[in-house]
Amino acid sequence: MRILIVNGPNLNLLGTREPEIYGTVSMQEFLDRLRDNFPENDIAFFQSNHEGEIIDHLQDSSFDALIINPGAFSHYSYAIADCLKNIQKPKIEVHISNIYQREEFRQKSVTARYTDAVLSGFGLNGYRLAILSLLNQQ
């Protein structure tokens, strides 16, 4: 299965950005672990701080399932939400922190409505849990 993981703004700073919230492991380190744990799957990754680049990548990429962490875009990007609405493949939204324990504006996700599930507050392990869920849906 080809699984595409897409991260939104500032998630390229994982490992250094607010480690008390997001941990100290970089996304590259964690991707290497995921690929080692799921060697029979093709795990592709894309990160951008630009909304349009994320939409273009989602529309142009070939994948069987999607894991998306839109970051701050989850709270206001109707453009990414519309893009997700038109993807007819399994999709899971992941948030590293528990968005319901954060600031009020972070507690709403306009993109989640167009995914099959949301994982929030499991740290980076949320990505692994999302992969397990997608594989169980096969």
Question: How far apart, in whole angstroms, are the C-alpha atoms of residue 81 and residue 114?
Answer: 6
**Which member of 78, 95, 100, 127 is catalytic?**
95
Q: Is 87 annotated as a binding residue?
A: no
- CA dist., res. 116 & res. 47, Å (int): 21
Where b means 16+ CB within 10 Å and e means fewer, 27-45 reads beebbeebeeebeebebbb
Q: Is 75 annotated in some ligand binding site?
A: yes
CA distance 15 to 23: 6
Q: Is there a binding annotation on residue 97?
A: yes
Q: Is 50 a catalytic residue?
A: no
Residue 76 known to be catalytic = no
The response to whether 98 counts as a known ligand-binding position is no
Are 34 and 1 contacting, i.e. CB atoms less than 8 angstroms apart? no
User: Is 60 flagged in the annotation as binding?
Assistant: no
Annotated binding site for substrate: 69, 75, 82, 96-97, 106
Q: Which residues are catalytic?
A: 22, 95
Annotated binding site: 69, 75, 82, 96-97, 106
